[in-house]
């Protein structure tokens, strides 16, 4: 067991690169809430003082409140619908042997491997080409296109059949994905 644990946590160059890369990408995002309480209008250190005036301005701006409510509406609707669709699709794929299951699964999972900005621009071009008016419905549909495959992957994975250690869960998840891509 200790040999397996050492092998899992050893610091090789790939793990070091991944940690540095993720730190470089996400560390600035962690500072954004801190700067929202800064008294200066510029994002810079040192902080000029503690204030809630930016939140007060947001609450007193009708456009900002409308944008917040639109985000909440779309987020809640997409979360519920994507979870339902992902659960139903995951059950269908894991419970039944469907003909052409591998290519169908590959097609469904395509949004997960396309960069988000490319997918967003492509959907915007498609929606404008078919003369659909841009609305919360098109935003919700576009988000569901991305969220449903994630829900399908997570909900279709039989994690209750695996030990709780992270390496075992990861190995079982990879094996489950490889098995679901079968003939």
pLDDT at residue 159 in the model: 47
pLDDT for 126 equals: 93
pLDDT average, residue stretch 5-11: 55
Calculate the dihedral angle through the C-alpha atoms of 141, 152, 26, 64, rounding to the nearest 10 degrees: 30
Q: Which residue has the higher pLDDT, 54 or 10?
A: 54
Q: Given a cut of 80, is residue 78 above it in pLDDT?
A: yes
pTM of the model: 0.63
131 SS3 class: coil
> How is residue 130 annotated by DSSP?
T
Domain ranges of the chain: 10-60, 63-183
Average pLDDT value over all residues in the chain: 80
Bridge partners of 144, per DSSP, are none
Output the six-digit token pair for 48.
């000029």
Q: Are 50 and 35 in contact (CB under 8 A)?
A: no
Report residue 31 as tokens.
Answer: 């500072």
CB 51 within 8 A of CB 37: yes
How far is the C-alpha of 39 from the C-alpha of 37, rounded, in Å? 6
Element (H, E) at 180: helix 166-180
User: Which two structure tokens, joined as six digits, stand for 45?
Assistant: 């250190």
Residue 128: count other Cβ atoms within 10 Å of its Cβ. 12
């Amino acid at each position: 067991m200790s040999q397996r644990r050492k092998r899992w946590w050893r610091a090789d160059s790939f793990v070091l690169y991944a940690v540095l890369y993720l730190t470089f990408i996400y560390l600035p995002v962690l500072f954004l809430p801190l700067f929202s309480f800064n008294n200066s209008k510029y994002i810079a250190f040192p902080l000029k003082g503690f204030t809630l005036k930016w939140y007060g301005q947001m609450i007193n701006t009708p456009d900002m409140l409308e944008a917040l409510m639109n985000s909440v509406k779309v987020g809640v609707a997409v979360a519920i619908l994507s979870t339902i669709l992902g659960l139903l699709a995951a059950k269908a794929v894991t419970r039944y042997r469907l003909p052409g299951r591998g290519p169908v699964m590959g097609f469904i999972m395509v949004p997960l491997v396309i960069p988000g900005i490319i997918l967003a621009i492509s959907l915007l071009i498609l929606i404008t080409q078919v003369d659909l008016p841009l609305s919360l419905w098109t935003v919700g549909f576009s988000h569901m296109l991305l969220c449903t495959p994630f829900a399908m992957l997570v909900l279709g994975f039989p994690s209750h059949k695996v030990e709780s250690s992270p390496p075992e869960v990861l190995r079982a998840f990879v094996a489950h994905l490889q098995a679901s891509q079968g003939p």
